């Protein structure tokens, strides 16, 4: 597909977009300017090799957006390193991780980080929930966001190849914790059933969710995206994500209840 990438990338529109992307990522700082240069340099390198991978499956400007987004993140990783967050944060989901990265690692101002994750007019996430998340992170990691002083080494370690693998380590403690939370307002927890490995195995077989349901549950309940934002991002009818999520939760509830893993009040 023949596209004049230099003309597109160096157009006033694209230059403005790249600048805006970098300023949202790093604020109005020198880093934003350096990141803009980094993006332009890498887009044009190798005779526009990255751009020329375009085959026409998407619109050119959206493809260009994905490349720019990747390059901005690549710059951030080179600048701030790739540091592994605490395991408790990893279990809480990508929104928590992103907040941690912005505030603790890159030391961005809290309002800027919240603005970014809440989206324009708070279209993506609830601002108050994000504020609560920041409070939790700061309470558990007192060094987070401080402009001076060393970050305790035990708080993090550098990523090593293979660390991204999803392992089942820690699954049972997570389930126990979550189960307790589920039951905190509804009745007496019966943790013994949850501690039984056979129970977990049986649940794995009994809970059947489609990929779309798993994606929507994750976006909505783990990462706090509004259902309207999910619908827009997946091009679904406005209330389809909420319906799919409700069906999935009802199914999960039914499976747990049928194995007496939920008290009657929680059903």
Please list every residue from 127 through 146 that binds other proteins, using CB under 8 A: 127-129, 133
Q: Choose one: 36-44, 67-75, 106-114, 153-161; the region binding other proteins (CB under 8 A).
A: 67-75
Burial zone of 99 (CB within 10 Å; 0-12 exposed, 13-18 middle, 19+ buried): buried
Q: Which is nearer to other proteins, 128 or 152 (CB)?
A: 128
Residue 125 engages other proteins in binding (rule: CB under 8 A):
yes
Residue 258 engages other proteins in binding (rule: CB under 8 A):
no
Residue 48: how many other CB atoms lie within 10 Å: 17
Structure tokens at 113: 């980080």
Please list every residue from 23 through 42 that binds other proteins, using CB under 8 A: 24-25
Q: Which is nearer to other proteins, 146 or 180 (CB)?
A: 180
Q: Quick check: 25 and 34 in contact, CB under 8 A? A: no
Residue 237 engages other proteins in binding (rule: CB under 8 A):
yes
Q: Quick check: 17 and 39 in contact, CB under 8 A? A: no
Residue 168 — φ and ψ, nearest 5°?
-85, 0
Q: Which of 28, 52, 59, 140 binds other proteins (CB under 8 A)?
A: 59
Residue 218 engages other proteins in binding (rule: CB under 8 A):
yes
CA atoms within 13 A on the CB side of 164: 3
Residue 211 engages other proteins in binding (rule: CB under 8 A):
yes
Please list every residue from 92 through 111 that binds other proteins, using CB under 8 A: 93-95, 97-98
Q: Quick check: 124 and 226 in contact, CB under 8 A? A: yes
Residue 196 engages other proteins in binding (rule: CB under 8 A):
no
């Amino acid at each position: 597909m023949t596209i004049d990438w230099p003309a597109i990338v160096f157009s006033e529109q694209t230059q403005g977009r790249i600048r805006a992307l970098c300023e949202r990522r790093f604020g109005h700082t020198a880093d934003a300017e350096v990141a803009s240069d980094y993006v332009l340099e890498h887009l044009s390198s190798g005779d526009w090799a990255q751009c020329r991978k375009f085959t026409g499956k998407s619109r050119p400007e959206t493809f260009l957006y994905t490349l720019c987004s990747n390059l901005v993140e690549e710059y951030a990783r080179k600048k701030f390193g790739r540091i592994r967050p605490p395991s408790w944060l990893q279990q809480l989901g990508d929104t928590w991780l992103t907040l941690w990265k912005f505030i603790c690692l890159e030391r961005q101002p809290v309002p800027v980080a919240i603005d970014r994750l809440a989206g324009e007019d708070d279209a993506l996430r609830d601002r108050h929930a994000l504020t609560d998340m920041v409070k939790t992170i700061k309470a558990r990691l007192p060094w987070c966001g401080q402009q001076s002083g060393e970050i305790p080494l035990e708080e993090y370690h550098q990523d090593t190849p293979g660390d991204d693998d999803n392992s089942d380590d820690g699954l049972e403690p997570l389930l126990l914790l979550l189960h307790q939370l589920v039951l905190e307002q509804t009745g007496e927890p019966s943790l013994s059933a949850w501690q039984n490995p056979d129970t977990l195995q049986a649940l794995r077989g009994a809970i059947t969710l489609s990929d779309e349901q798993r994606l929507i549950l994750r976006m909505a309940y783990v990462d706090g995206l509004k259902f309207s934002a999910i619908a827009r991002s997946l091009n679904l009818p406005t209330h389809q994500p909420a319906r799919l999520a409700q069906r999935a939760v009802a199914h999960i509830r039914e499976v747990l209840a049928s194995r007496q893993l939920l008290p009657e009040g929680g059903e």
